[in-house]
Amino acid sequence: MKKIAVVGLGIIGGSICGALTKAGYYVDGFGRSEASVQFALQAGYVRARGETLADYDVVFIAVPPKATMEYLDKGVFKDGALVMDICGVKSSLEKVVYSKPRNYRYVGTHPMAGKETSGIASASPDLFKNANLIITHAPQTEAEDIREAKEYAHAMKFGKIVECTAEEHDKKIALTSQLAHIVSNAYVKSPQVRHCDGFTGGSFQDMTRIAGVDEKMWIELYMENQEYIVAELEGLIENLSVYCDCLKRNDAEGLAETLKEGRLIRETIKRGND
């Protein structure tokens, strides 16, 4: 059986360890802190503490973008090892990987799963059950490498698996993830937000759930994907200005049309996800 290493024992890395171990694979973990390594060992998520990356046939890199690029550029891997990252940006990583010949095989992945909390204490072997997974490919990517990546994805119980280019990934994620976190973070800056006890329901909870981003990690994602995020932000600001203008003009008919347009678009999204 192939030896698997997971670098980074946060919520995603810890969950990868737990899911693959549960599926019967032998997994070792590399963590920055002794506490995360001990947690993974005691929880049974890993077989042992990782020592040397070059000992492993498969390596998952589950750390922030800059650290991931450092591993991809300077890490010493086993000849022919399959190396996969889980970053929320992909174009920057591909540039690093294909900037010079490498002795390893590379496949980009992005699990569309997580929680509002972070750290290995929030990890779960079942975190990825029925979740979406994005797999990115470049002209250099071999079909066999994609097939192997999907083998591990199925073992972790992912649901829908989508394949695309790094560029398409970054463009879509700017909308579906990164913009959503920015909007939530901005929404809670209203001066009224601290005095809403008893006035909130599901809408408020939905809008504020992901406001508490870890700025140290997310700033790396934003800066690596700033072109697409800026485009989405500008589009959102333009759309919001229409609602604001209708209200300022006391234009009920225009506001109704604007709301109807959004409702109809939302209905097409629901149908597409069924």
CATH number of 169-273: 1.10.3660.10
pLDDT of residue 213: 83
Averaged pLDDT for residues 47-74: 97
Angle at 157 between CA 128 and CA 149, to 5 degrees: 95
**Residue of 76, 74, 138 whose CA lies nearest to 106:** 138
- Torsion angles phi and psi, residue 73, rounded to 5: -85, -40
Averaged pLDDT for residues 90-115: 96
Averaged pLDDT for residues 95-113: 97
Largest Cα separation within the chain, whole Å, is: 69
User: What length does the chain have?
Assistant: 274
Q: What are the start-end ranges of the E strands in the chain? A: 3-7, 26-30, 48-49, 58-61, 82-85, 105-112, 132-136, 161-164
pLDDT above 70: percentage of residues in the chain: 98
Q: Is the pLDDT of residue 274 over 70?
A: no
pLDDT of residue 108: 98
Report how far residue 260's alpha carbon sits from residue 243's, in angstroms, rounded to the nearest whole number: 12
Counting beta carbons within 10 angstroms of the beta carbon of residue 103, is it exposed (0 to 12), middle (13 to 18) or buried (19 or more)? exposed
Averaged pLDDT for residues 12-19: 98
Report how far residue 238's alpha carbon sits from residue 118's, in angstroms, rounded to the nearest whole number: 33
pLDDT of residue 117: 78
pLDDT of residue 267: 93
Question: Average per-residue pLDDT in the chain?
Answer: 95
- Token reading at 97: 């990987």
Where residue 118 falls among pLDDT bands split at 50, 70, 90? confident
pLDDT of residue 59: 98
Q: What are the start-end ranges of the E strands in 67-167? A: 82-85, 105-112, 132-136, 161-164
pLDDT of residue 273: 61
Where residue 271 falls among pLDDT bands split at 50, 70, 90? low
Q: Is the pLDDT of residue 30 over 60?
A: yes
Domain spans in the chain, listed from the N-terminal domain onward: 3-165, 169-273
The residue with tokens 């994907």 is: 225
Where residue 54 falls among pLDDT bands split at 50, 70, 90? very high
Domain 3-165 homologous superfamily, CATH: NAD(P)-binding Rossmann-like Domain (3.40.50.720)
242-264 confidence digits (pLDDT tens): 999 999 999 999 999 999 999 99
Q: Is the pLDDT of residue 272 over 60?
A: no
pLDDT of residue 145: 98
Spell 152-190 as b/e; 16+ CB within 10 A means b: bbeebbbeeeeebbbeebbbebbeebbbbbbbbbeeeee
167-223 confidence digits (pLDDT tens): 999 999 999 999 999 999 999 999 999 999 999 999 999 999 999 888 988 999 999
Instruction: Indicate if 169-273 has the same CATH topology as 3-165.
Output: no
Angle at 95 between CA 166 and CA 3, to 5 degrees: 80
**Residue of 138, 122, 116, 92 whose CA lies nearest to 15:** 122
Report how far residue 128's alpha carbon sits from residue 150's, in angstroms, rounded to the nearest whole number: 13
pLDDT of residue 239: 98
